[in-house]
Amino acid sequence: METLCGLDLLASAVMILDRDRRIMYVNPAAEDLLEYSSKVLLYQRPEQIFLNGDVFDDICRQVIAHDPAEKRQELVLDRLGRSALHVYCIVKAIDFPDASVLVELRENVQQLRQDREKRLMDQNQANLELVRNLAHEIKNPLGGIKGAAQLLEMELPDRNMKDLREYTQVIIRESERLQKLVDRMLVPGKRPHIVNDLNIHEVCERVRSIVLAEYPHGLTIRRDYDLSLPEIAGDKEQLIQAVLNIAQNAVHALADKIREGNAELVFKTRVSRQVTLAKVRYRLALNLHIIDNGPGIAPDMIEKIFFPLVSGTEGGSGLGLTLSQTIVRQHGGLIECESRPGHTEFLIRLPIARA
C-alpha cells in the first residue's frame, strides 16, 4: 500500500474497495469521519458498517459494472449507536491490483446546518407557544391580585394605615414586577412593527454604550467590524434588545474576570454568501459574532439555553435568550451558540439579500 501514501494526506475521507466490495484501504480522514480505526474497517462491507449500507453497496455495484464508471450522490448513512452521516459521496472505478472502486466521502456541512436550523426553529416555536400560554394564564389573576391589594389599602383605617400599608405595598410592588415579567413573555408574539433600513453597527454601538455604562471598569469591549456591510431591514429597538440580552448574559458570566480586570467582549461582523435561513436561500447574510472569554457554558446546558425559564445565572429569569432568538427569527434569521472554556460565541445570522 506504499503507493497509496499520498491519500493519507487528504482532508476528505477515502476508502478503496476490492472486487468483493470489501474495504482494503482507508485513509486517516476516513477513520475520523466514520469513528472507527482501520483495524475495524478493513475487510468489512458497507452493510456491515452502515444500517442502510445496501444503498451504498448498490452504488458500488453500479460503478463496478461501469454503469456508470463514476457516480456522485448525497447520502445519509445511518449508524448503530452514532449520529447519521450526511455526506457527498463520489464512487469511481479504478485500475489497481485487487481493487475495484475508490470511494470519497465529504461531510455535507450545509445539510448539517439545515438540520440544526430546523431543530432550532422547531424548538423556538414550541418555546414561544409555551411562554405565551403561560403568560396569558398568569396575566388575569395577577391583575386581580394587584387590584384587590389597592382596594384593601384604600379601606384600611387611618390608625393602622402606616403599619399595614407596608404589607399591601409589597403585594402591589410584587404584582407590578410580575406584570412586567409577563409583558416580556408576551413580547415574542409581536412582529417587528417599526421596520426601517438600519446599520447593524449602530445596534452594536448602542449595546456597547449600555454595557460599558454599567461596567466601566474591568471589562474591555473590542470591535471587529466589516464596515462594507450593507444596511438591513429591521426593527432597530427590537434588535438592540436581542443583542443586549446576549451581551448581558455574557457579562454576567464574566463576573470573576471583571473583578480581575481582564474580561473581554468582542463584537465582530462579517458577511456570508449563499446562505439558507428558515428554508429561504439568500445571496448575502450578515453574521454578528458576540464573543466572550468567560468560563463557557456547561455541555449539559448548551442545548437548553434557548428554552424559556432556563437560566445559567443565579437570579436570572431565563427569558433573555428565548426573547433574543424569537426576535431574530421574526427578522428571518437565527442565533447559534458554540462554547468551550475561555471562549463562548453567539452567532446572529440575519438575511441581507434574497438569492
| In the predicted structure, residue 288 carries a pLDDT above the cut 90 | yes
pLDDT confidence tier of residue 39, bands split at 50, 70 and 90: confident
CB 23 within 8 A of CB 40: no
Name the most confidently modeled range: 84-93, 95-104, 191-200, 220-229. Answer: 220-229
**What percentage of the chain has pLDDT greater than the value 70?**
78
pLDDT at 263: 92
pLDDT at 270: 94
More confident residue, 269 or 26: 269
DSSP states along 194-225: SEEEE-HHHHHHHHHHHHHHH--SSEEEEEE-
21: alpha, beta or left? (left if phi > 0; alpha if psi -120 to 50): left
The tens digit of pLDDT for each residue in 84-130 reads: 787 888 888 887 777 788 888 887 665 556 666 666 666 666 666 66
Q: How many CB atoms lie within 10 A of CB 347?
A: 17
The tens digit of pLDDT for each residue in 298-324 reads: 877 777 777 665 555 554 555 678 888
pLDDT at 302: 74
Question: In Å, what is the CA distance from 97 to each residue of 45, 100, 114, 242, 251?
Answer: 18, 8, 41, 61, 62
Question: What pTM does this model have?
Answer: 0.56
pLDDT at 61: 81
CB 332 within 8 A of CB 350: yes
